[in-house]
Amino acid sequence: MSAMDNSILTLVTFIPMAGAILLLFLPRRDRDIRIFSLVVALLDFVLSVHLPVHLHRAVVGFQYEIDQPWIAHPNIHYHMGVDGISMWLVVLTAFLTPLCVLISWKSIHERVKEFFILLLVLETALIGVFMALDLFLFYFFWEATLIPMALLIGMYGHGRRVYAAVKFFLYTMIASVFMLAAILWLYAKTGSFDFTTIQAAIRSGQVENFAAAAPWLFLGFFLAFAVKVPLFPFHTWLPDAHVEAPTAGSVLLAGVLLKMGTYGMLRFNLGLFPEQSRSNAPWVIALALIGIVYGALVAMVQPNMKKLIAYSSISHLGFVVLGIFSFTPMGLDGATFVMLAHGVATGALFMLAGILYERRHTYEITDFGGLATPMPVYASFFLFIVLASVGLPLLNGFIGEFLVLSGAFGARPIYGVLAATGVIWSACYLLWMYQRVFFGKVKHTVNETLPDLDAREKATLWPAAVAALVMGIAPLIWLDSIDPAVQYALAPFTQLASKVVGQ
Amino acid sequence: MNPISDMPQSLPQAADYIRILPEIVLSIFGMIIMLLDPVMDERRSQKTLGGIALVGSLAALAATLYQTQFPGLGFWNMVQVDSFSVFFHFLVAAVTVAVILSSYEYMEVQEIRAGEYYGLLLFGAVGMSLMSSAVELVLIFIALEISSISTYILAGFRRRAAISSESSVKYFLLGSFATAFFLYGVAMMFGATGSTNIAAIAGVLRAGQAPVLAYVAVALMFVGLGFKVAAAPFHIWTPDVYEGAPSPVVGFMSTAPKAAVFAVLLRIMFEIHAPGRIWLIWVVAALSMTLGNIAALVQDNIKRLLAYSSIAHAGYTLVAFAELPGDGVPAVMFYSASYSAMNLGAFAVISHFASVGERYVTLEDYSGLGRRSPLLAAVLTLFLLSLIGIPITGGFFAKFYVFAAALQANLVGLVIVGAINSAVAAYYYLRIIVVMYMREPRTDAPIAPIPAGLGSALAITLLATIYLGVLPGRILDYASRSAAELLR
């Protein structure tokens, strides 16, 4: 272990925070502030790439771990670590943030300094969520994402932004109180917030009263995560938050924040309560399937482009939950891959919608039509990302959804059949939207003179498009490190399964 | 057991004076200010007197540090210097420093003649300091009166505002009524146990069955003290008084006297093993939290809102009293410290923003503050987050320790009430943040830049709030040690 390996997680987490603090002292020259934020975000991305490059694929469990006592009473440690799953989510966050800086270059022209401070603080909190292995630390980062995100929506959003921000805040805050209660219960019984310690204590049956409390603890964690995902019927905050949020906010919201929920289910619900996960799986899967179909059907009738993409997220995240609760290696591999692919593709879709909004100040689909004529480059990018999102083979959406569906078939064929309809629906709503916006004659004369992408916008979209392609062609780069982590996470389930078979 | 015959017939020793050294220092500086005030030029006096008061309270801090080398009883067992009293002395002196700093420019802006203002602050601090080291009920009563009388006058210091005089009179009338209850309780306790010395009372009460009179005495003393900390159902005065009093004074009287009264309560409740305290505390804590938070939900005046919030916070603090002193005492001490830091800070911001005549104190006035003064808004946001109890602020660990202490004692019901209350409370604090950041400003009138004195007060309280939230260990260790000393 080199010194770099010991401190890399701290660096990746706190460099954006340090950048935000420095920004506080920079003079209010908007251009400098933008460039500075971009440099910080890019630096962080470069550092985050260290993680997959130097990961030891043969080692199971967490890597680059750092475990320092922080507060003696209560017993809180600064315990960070990543495995093949969380590592890629960290990279995804660090990948999307510089793009968010670029996409906000012109659209944010008021209170610029505050905007980038909030964005960088948000990045620190998001990365911290995926790295924290101390439940208290996890809870802290989890809550810490809430404030900058709510402020981004409330300060820089559109129309009903205050309503959306408050709704977002209250939904997630109230739900996470239940998680806090579960965490405190575990602390009271084990005297530790440490994830691995608690996991070991649970597996060896040393936690008193665990059998009676476990269903409630499972629910406490699950509720907090389900609201974040969002799983049907806890999804109503999402469309509001997305429609009102500024573009960068939407990108991080869909790209990363929602994954906090699915990541939490994978790490904590499955990791700490395998038996309860299994016994609760039927209704969780039912909700996931409802989410897949419902999200897709509602997306189809949306007149607002951003709302359409928001509902498509509900549908896609349903796939992730389905994959996780199928308890098959394929399902979990696929779920993780969908998280990443959805982050890239939906992030890019929101950026594309934002680019259009900058020109026309509307998201209504009927305000457009025939845009392929004035904006050919834009139209090509849009098509490429739509196809990636739909799940065209050789692009990133396909791999994840295919794996999830195979996993779901493995668990129970009916799950696979129902979920597969979601793939068809997504092709319908996205392609139909594409047709209405880009094909045919230009319907509104204002649209005839819309400028095509400029260099900055292309620079924002190219990385996302390349990532979508590479993930589709060479998914093994990712699955190679995801799979060992998934196998490790599923170890208690194979034991459980053999117990069931043995009966 | 006649207390008068207990007194040795000798004069006090030098060591006795060291045991009240901070009080002596504060009194001397207070008197210097009173003497200088009439002979000084009115226009120049404000800054000079403020400076003297600042030096005085810093000297009291130093005296407290010096005192730590001489623990023990003094003045015929009337005062006791231990790490418990040192903790509260330090807290009161630190609060005084911050209040003086935040009043430094406020008085000029409000066009109030400073004069005895600073003297009263110091005299008030004398009373509060003495409350935490006194171990004799009559001395506690005297200290309580010194502190109260100063705050009655301070509350009415915006002489030209009718609302301020109303505040002062209301506080005075109800406050003297409440101290009478306390005194009555002291008399009853003397009747029940034959002593007013806390150690002697404890000896009698632990020896045998507590007489009914002792229960009555504890209840009466609790009424008096409950009034001072604004615990429900003795809280009715709080919103009116806080609304009318000058903002820095509200910052002062919502923190230092409360901390001192909590110190007295800790001594009485835990050292005496006050009979029947559990149900008493349970009811009052639950009531304070619930009434305070519910009423705060509908407030439009920010000072009234924080007044109700302070009622709720008194309730949270009381939760730790209900059982097990080993966890409860340090929890109360930690809560007092972190509440002092965050509430003082919040009122410092309010006092600056209120401007001449405290005009801008409604929630509407705070619209768009994030745009008009990003720094002021950001600082206030941090204090509000701490009042909510968000992690890595002092407010989080304060709540954590209090609820943990109650959980250790299996008071699950009270903890649930507290947890629900914390969730409700988040709403009204967030309302302020939402208004500041997400509403358009109503005027573009510039806000005066933050002056030096207020800036340093904000820096001190901000650092304290974050320090208690990031590294609570050292303060808690100290508090645990002094709790062990107290309960020995």
| Cα–Cα distance measured from residue A77 to residue A134, given in angstroms and rounded to the nearest whole number | 6
Residue in A72, A143, A188 nearest the CB of B390: A143
Q: Which of A318-332, A489-503, B26-40, B270-284 has the lowest mean pLDDT?
A: A489-503
Q: Which of A450-454, B235-239, B270-274, B401-405 has the lowest mean pLDDT?
A: B270-274
User: DSSP string covering A53-88, please?
Assistant: HH--TT--S-EEEEEEEEETTTTEEEEEEE-HHHHH
Using the beta-carbon criterion (under 8 Å), do A73 and B385 form an inter-chain contact? Answer: no
Nearest CA in chain B to A28: B374
CA of A176 vs chain B CAs: smallest distance (Å): 11
Using the beta-carbon criterion (under 8 Å), do B438 and A155 form an inter-chain contact? Answer: yes
For residue B444, the chain A residues in CB contact (below 8 A) are none
ipTM: 0.81
Using the beta-carbon criterion (under 8 Å), do A177 and B473 form an inter-chain contact? Answer: no
Residue in B374, B434, B477 nearest the CB of A162: B434
Nearest CA in chain A to B480: A73
The answer to whether the CB of A245 falls within 8 A of the CB of A157 is yes
Using the beta-carbon criterion (under 8 Å), do B477 and A154 form an inter-chain contact? Answer: no
| Cα–Cα distance measured from residue B245 to residue B241, given in angstroms and rounded to the nearest whole number | 6
The answer to whether the CB of B468 falls within 8 A of the CB of B336 is no
Q: Which residues of A touch B (CB under 8 A)?
A: 71-74, 111, 113-114, 136, 139-140, 143-144, 147, 151, 154-155, 161-162, 165-166, 169-170, 173-174, 177, 181, 188
CA of A470 vs chain B CAs: smallest distance (Å): 40
Residue in this structure with the two tokens 């005495």, named with its chain if needed: B217
The whole domain housing A326 covers: 273-503
For residue A74, the chain B residues in CB contact (below 8 A) are 400, 404
- Chain B, 392 to 421: residues with Cβ < 8 Å from chain A are 392, 400, 404, 407, 419
State phi, psi for A78 to the nearest 5 degrees.
Answer: -90, 85
pLDDT for position A503: 37
Using the beta-carbon criterion (under 8 Å), do B392 and A140 form an inter-chain contact? Answer: yes
pLDDT for position A500: 46
For residues B4 and B78, which has the higher predicted lDDT (pLDDT)?
B78
DSSP state of A253: I
Using the beta-carbon criterion (under 8 Å), do B438 and A139 form an inter-chain contact? Answer: no
For residue A68, the chain B residues in CB contact (below 8 A) are none
Q: Does a structural domain hold residue A497? A: yes
Local structure of A374: helix, strand or coil: coil
Q: Does B191 touch chain A (CB under 8 A)?
A: no
CA of A399 vs chain B CAs: smallest distance (Å): 39
For residue B390, the chain A residues in CB contact (below 8 A) are 143, 147
| Cα–Cα distance measured from residue B436 to residue B426, given in angstroms and rounded to the nearest whole number | 16
Residue in B374, B390, B392 nearest the CB of A114: B374
| Cα–Cα distance measured from residue A73 to residue B481, given in angstroms and rounded to the nearest whole number | 14
pLDDT for position B432: 92
Mean pLDDT of B385-389: 92
pLDDT in tens, B165-197: 889 999 999 999 899 999 999 999 999 888 899
CA of B433 vs chain A CAs: smallest distance (Å): 9
pLDDT for position A324: 92
State phi, psi for A66 to the nearest 5 degrees.
Answer: -135, 130
Give the start-to-end residue ranges of the domains of chain B. 15-486
Mean pLDDT of B91-120: 88
Residue A134, beta-bridge partner list = A194
Q: Which residue type, as a one-letter code, is found at position B70?
A: F
Mean pLDDT of B235-242: 91
pLDDT for position A495: 66
For residue A139, the chain B residues in CB contact (below 8 A) are 391
Q: What does each of the 503 residues of chain A score in pLDDT, given as a tens digit?
A: 567 778 889 999 999 999 999 998 888 888 899 999 999 999 999 999 998 988 887 788 888 888 888 888 788 899 999 988 999 999 999 999 999 999 999 888 888 888 999 999 999 999 999 999 999 999 999 988 988 999 999 888 888 888 899 889 888 888 888 898 889 888 888 888 999 999 988 888 888 888 888 899 999 999 999 999 888 888 889 988 988 899 999 999 999 999 999 999 999 999 899 888 888 989 999 999 999 999 999 999 999 999 999 999 999 999 999 999 988 888 999 999 999 999 999 999 999 999 999 888 888 888 888 888 888 999 999 999 999 998 888 888 889 899 999 999 888 888 889 888 888 888 889 999 999 999 888 888 888 888 888 899 999 999 999 999 999 999 998 998 898 888 888 888 776 655 444 43
Tell me how many domains chain A contains.
1
Report residue B269's pLDDT band, with 50, 70 and 90 as the boundaries.
Answer: confident
CA of A73 vs chain B CAs: smallest distance (Å): 7
Q: Does a structural domain hold residue A218? A: no
Q: Does B213 touch chain A (CB under 8 A)?
A: no
Q: Does B385 touch chain A (CB under 8 A)?
A: yes
| Cα–Cα distance measured from residue A93 to residue A97, given in angstroms and rounded to the nearest whole number | 6
CA of B389 vs chain A CAs: smallest distance (Å): 11
pLDDT for position B6: 53
Using the beta-carbon criterion (under 8 Å), do B477 and A74 form an inter-chain contact? Answer: no
User: DSSP string covering A412-453, please?
Assistant: -HHHHHHHHHHHHHHHHHHHHHHHHHHSSS--SGGGGG----
Residue pairs spanning A and B at CB distance below 8 A? 48
Using the beta-carbon criterion (under 8 Å), do B438 and A161 form an inter-chain contact? Answer: yes
Residue in B407, B426, B437 nearest the CB of A173: B426
pLDDT for position B460: 95
pLDDT for position B9: 58
pLDDT for position A74: 82
Whether B18 shows a pLDDT value over 50: the answer reads yes
Nearest CA in chain A to B407: A188
Using the beta-carbon criterion (under 8 Å), do B385 and A166 form an inter-chain contact? Answer: no
Mean pLDDT of B85-113: 89
> Which residues, including other chains, have CB under 8 Å from residue A267's CB and lie 6 or more apart?
A85, A86, A195, A489
State phi, psi for B392 to the nearest 5 degrees.
Answer: 55, 25
The burial class, CB within 10 Å (0-12 / 13-18 / 19+), for A470 is: middle
- Chain B, 306 to 345: residues with Cβ < 8 Å from chain A are none
Residue in B371, B427, B476 nearest the CB of A111: B371
Using the beta-carbon criterion (under 8 Å), do A114 and B370 form an inter-chain contact? Answer: yes
Mean pLDDT of B46-67: 91
Closest by CA to B332, choosing from B384, B273, B385, B405, is: B405
pLDDT in tens, B138-161: 999 999 999 999 999 999 888 888
pLDDT for position A347: 93
Residue in B390, B419, B473 nearest the CB of A73: B473
CA end-to-end span of chain B: 23
pLDDT for position A502: 41
The answer to whether the CB of A436 falls within 8 A of the CB of A308 is no
Using the beta-carbon criterion (under 8 Å), do A165 and B438 form an inter-chain contact? Answer: yes
Using the beta-carbon criterion (under 8 Å), do B391 and A143 form an inter-chain contact? Answer: yes
pLDDT for position A173: 83
Nearest CA in chain B to A177: B423
